[in-house]
Structure 1
């Protein structure tokens, strides 16, 4: 049997046509992330990931309408969100549970035909944004806001979150973040989703499992922890001494470096640009300036450039979004990729069942209970 690799690093576990990371270049179905981030709406990217081609104008309109038509969530989900202990529950735990519960209200949840799964994908992608926004408002003592069918996905999310029309730059920032986080090859949560549905479990189980994996601070929780770090630093002059102390104590600097990229995360520069614009617009430039200082210092001293989580933190903060909502917003975006991989897994399924390299004791003789010392 082949010797194990810790964390499956370097192991190719499957073939996929959805996204790739080759020579530090991320692409979705062969389209560079830079081109998509600068030119595409999130709805276009959803269509691309699920259909492996860019949409025509008619295709895109159909996708937008389908998402808008399915954004409302059952009242039972709202009531369930209200029942949580809102003083202690983390939004990712709430989201994980709500998505699982959502499956109970879908009469086609266990129907496995391709078209049924495609329709469920639409419903899940549409509703997950509504769940995050509803939870945020409920815990702040506000009533959830219903989506508007004439708004695009990013704008609808901000409208449901804040209860008012968003500014153009805010919509651009959220749309760009959704595009950049949509898929990332066989990351931990995507692999989790594929392992789950490879048993022919239903699509809701796959998304719920993926949310559970994304919840961890070494995956989706990084951007929340970046903002926690920036808040602890407080002022620009404290940035380098704070980071020096962390590095001297051999502590991890969240948002720096990446397991896959050797020369830098290609997504980071897009959110770095948005961070600069938004922090200037909102009079919070210290968060951007502080981030640049940290990035430059860590890169020079540890050879670790910033990843996509690093600047998404100050972008979301500048939009007035609660810090513990950063990872749920990541989930809203990554659901598009999870669904693409789930559909791909269903299309050419084989149970995912790797082996483990055993490192325990050799075979032993069983000793009866009365003879054990």
Structure 2
């Protein structure tokens, strides 16, 4: 236990500056603010409004957790060997190739093939079997109107699985065959957003017709395809870990993808872009980010679309998608609103825009609903989920079985009394 600081009244909490907290945690000052943005630390403005201070007990407890779990940049989480994606600094790589450069030069289908096999198939397109599409559409059409994207996609996956009698074959070629038909089946099962229902051509064009009733011009289709490529995988995100757990238990590919879909619906994962989309619309409606950001902070909410736990600097996916959107004149107002949000929030916490905010600019400027980002994320990430399932099928089964750290009452405890028992 440390001695009380000189001159500090007994019983008051000890506060650390940002520099002191960063040194104790062994991270950059920007990472300290990233911990704040995801709720692992609380901060308080320093007297006079210059910088932030942090509760020393909270910082020390986080440092202890990080030391027990290894590298503080990973938050002490489970480590799993993978050859799919590497995140290093403020860049990320698909099988050793810069993911942004790959996305800027290839279609989503080509990037998916690279993730699955490590080979490029120029010009490849995915085709959905008519039987699977028919079964999936009937199942999705039976859902209530208020069903969300994750609901529709989960139902579509389950329905497609029932139409595939060979789904239990976990051989690599069989799983690859499933992957190449499942992704387009998911898109085909979604209801059309306008009068046109596109079922042929690049996947981005088919998906656009499910998300927007506006005409699909080349620039917007390229932005959507780029978003699909950039989001295809991102190391062991929560949904990907769920997929690997399912695959470790030798669940078939449809079930593994369904496990991933069950996780993305949370506001901290696949649904995060929807929050950013709504925030953008509020800023556009009011003409300034100031009052909108102020209301978020006043309500105790984090400003959506800012910061990422794995990037102390700029999210490379956001940077690439913003650059693409700058080529679309109609996206200019939403882009300006996004910049206003980032600049306004930076006065409180210096965090960079993440891919959720960039995705929100795409959806808000393309006549899409707020839930469109979640659909794009889920369809895109299916490629990465399949890549991780393929890896896990090659590992020892049931290896994804961590041990619990029991913190309950120490046994033996007496049996609980029956309700109404007055004996004794």
TM-score using structure 2 length? 0.76
State the match for 1:60 in structure 2: 122
Aligned pairs (5 A) from 1:161-240: 166-235=216-285, 237-240=287-290
Establish whether residue 347 from structure 1 lines up as the match of residue 413 from structure 2. Answer: no
**Cα separation, partners in 2 of 1:73 and 1:170, compared to 1, 3 Å:** farther
Q: 1:26 aligns to what SS in structure 2?
A: strand
State the match for 1:44 in structure 2: 110
What is the rounded CA distance, in whole Å, between the counterparts of 1:159 and 1:249 in structure 2? 37
What is the rounded CA distance, in whole Å, between the counterparts of 1:372 and 1:251 in structure 2? 52
Establish whether residue 31 from structure 1 lines up as the match of residue 31 from structure 2. Answer: no
State the match for 2:199 in structure 1: 147
How big is the shift at 1:199? 0.4
The answer on whether the counterparts of 2:69 and 2:75 sit within 8 Å (CA) in structure 1 is: no
The answer on whether the counterparts of 1:145 and 1:161 sit within 8 Å (CA) in structure 2 is: no
Aligned pairs (5 A) from 1:1-373: 9-53=75-119, 55=120, 59-61=121-123, 63-64=124-125, 67-68=126-127, 70=129, 73-86=132-145, 88-131=146-189, 134-137=190-193, 145=197, 147-148=199-200, 151-159=201-209, 166-235=216-285, 237-278=287-328, 280=329, 282=330, 285-351=332-398, 352-367=400-415, 369=418, 370=421
User: Can you list the C-alpha shifts for 1:243-272, whole angstroms capped at 9, x where unaligned?
Assistant: 133224431111111121111211111222
The answer on whether the counterparts of 2:250 and 2:397 sit within 8 Å (CA) in structure 1 is: no
What is the rounded CA distance, in whole Å, between the counterparts of 1:162 and 1:249 in structure 2? 32
What is the rounded CA distance, in whole Å, between the counterparts of 1:372 and 1:85 in structure 2? 53
Q: 1:238 aligns to what SS in structure 2?
A: coil
The answer on whether the counterparts of 1:71 and 1:147 sit within 8 Å (CA) in structure 2 is: no
What is the rounded CA distance, in whole Å, between the counterparts of 1:329 and 1:309 in structure 2? 11
Return 5+ residue gaps in structure 2 as ranges.
Answer: 1-66
What is the rounded CA distance, in whole Å, between the counterparts of 2:351 and 2:130 in structure 1? 40
How big is the shift at 1:71? 7.6
The answer on whether the counterparts of 1:43 and 1:60 sit within 8 Å (CA) in structure 2 is: no
How big is the shift at 1:296? 1.9
Range 327-336 or range 235-244, more displaced: 235-244
The answer on whether the counterparts of 2:168 and 2:252 sit within 8 Å (CA) in structure 1 is: yes
The answer on whether the counterparts of 1:4 and 1:357 sit within 8 Å (CA) in structure 2 is: no
The answer on whether the counterparts of 1:47 and 1:60 sit within 8 Å (CA) in structure 2 is: no
What is the rounded CA distance, in whole Å, between the counterparts of 1:164 and 1:239 in structure 2? 27
State the match for 2:34 in structure 1: none
Q: 1:68 aligns to what SS in structure 2?
A: coil
Q: 1:185 aligns to what SS in structure 2?
A: coil
The answer on whether the counterparts of 2:322 and 2:358 sit within 8 Å (CA) in structure 1 is: yes
User: Can you list the C-alpha shifts for 1:256-296, whole angstroms capped at 9, x where unaligned?
Assistant: 11121111211111222233333x2x3x6332211101112
Q: 2:403 aligns to what SS in structure 1?
A: coil
What is the rounded CA distance, in whole Å, between the counterparts of 2:130 and 2:279 in structure 1? 34
Q: 1:60 aligns to what SS in structure 2?
A: coil
Q: 1:323 aligns to what SS in structure 2?
A: coil
More helix by share: 1
What is the rounded CA distance, in whole Å, between the counterparts of 2:181 and 2:423 in structure 1? 58
The answer on whether the counterparts of 2:167 and 2:252 sit within 8 Å (CA) in structure 1 is: yes
The answer on whether the counterparts of 2:139 and 2:155 sit within 8 Å (CA) in structure 1 is: no
TM-score using structure 1 length? 0.86
Range 305-314 or range 10-19, more displaced: 10-19
**Cα separation, partners in 2 of 1:372 and 1:229, compared to 1, 3 Å:** farther
CA RMSD of aligned residues (A): 2.6
The answer on whether the counterparts of 1:3 and 1:357 sit within 8 Å (CA) in structure 2 is: no
Specify which structure has the bigger relative contact order, considering alpha-carbon pairs within 8 angstroms and separated by 6 or more residues.
Answer: 1
